[in-house]
Chain A
Amino acid sequence: MERAQHGDVDAYGELVRRYQGIATRTAYVITGTSADAEDAAQDAFAKAYFALDRFRSGAPFRPWLLRIVANEAINRRKAAGRRATVDLSVAEGRPSGDTALSPEAAALAGEQREMLLRALRQLRDEDRLVIAYRYFFDLSEAEMAEALRVARGTVKSRLSRALARLRTVAAGEVRLDG
Chain B
Amino acid sequence: MASRMDDRTIELALTDLGGRLAYPSVDLWPAVRERIVAGRQPWWRSLIGGLRLPAPVMPIVATLVVILLVVLAVSPEARAKAAELLGLRGVQIIKVPETPTPTPSPTGTPLVPGGRVTLEEARAQAGFTVRVPAALGDPDEVTLEPVAGGARVTLVYRDRPDIPPSSQPGISALVVELGGRLDQNVMGKGIGPGTTLEQLTVNGGLGFWIAGQPHQVFYLDQRGQFQQETLRLAGNTLLWEQDGVTYRIEAQITKDAALRVAASFR
Residue ranges of A at the interface with B (Cβ–Cβ < 8 Å): 1-2, 5-6, 9, 12-13, 16-17, 20-21, 23-25, 28-29, 34-35, 37-38, 41-42, 45-46, 49-50, 53-54, 56-58, 88-92, 94, 97, 108-109, 111-113, 115-117, 120, 131-132, 135-137, 163, 166-167, 170-171, 174
Contact = CB atoms under 8 A, between A and B. Distances in A.
Nearest to A137: B18
16 contacts: A5-B185, A6-B189, A9-B33, A17-B29, A24-B24, A25-B21, A37-B24, A56-B220, A56-B226, A89-B22, A90-B20, A132-B18, A163-B10, A166-B10, A167-B5, A174-B2
B57 interface: no
Nearest to A56: B224
A57 B226 contact: yes
Contact of A112 (B1, B18, B29): B1
Contacts of A171: 4
Contact of A5 (B5, B22, B26, B186): B186
A40 to B, nearest CB: 11
Contacts, number: 133
Given A24-B24, A163-B10, A174 B1 contact: yes
A167 B214 CA distance: 61
Contacts of A35: 24
Interface of B: 1-2, 4-5, 7, 10-11, 13-29, 31-33, 35-37, 39, 41, 49, 183, 185-186, 188-189, 220, 224-226
Given A6-B188, A56-B226, A58-B183, A28 B21 contact: yes
Given A9-B33, A113-B20, A116-B17, A57 B183 contact: yes
Nearest to A7: B189
B49 to A, nearest CB: 7
B183 A34 contact: no
Contacts of A136: 14-15, 17-19, 21
Interface centre among A5, A89, A109, A136 (most CB of B within 10 A): A136
A53 B188 CA distance: 14
Shortest Cβ-Cβ A-B pairs, 5 listed: A136-B18, A34-B24, A135-B14, A91-B22, A57-B185
Given A56-B224, A91-B23, A135-B17, 7 more contacts: A28-B24, A34-B23, A42-B28, A57-B183, A113-B16, A116-B10, A120-B17
Contact of B14 (A38, A90, A111, A116): A116
A131 B185 contact: no
A6 B220 CA distance: 16
Contacts of A53: 49, 226
A100 B146 CA distance: 69
Nearest to B34: A46
Given A49-B36, A57-B186, A25 B1 contact: no
Contacts of B15: 135-136
A113 B13 CA distance: 7
A50 B13 contact: no
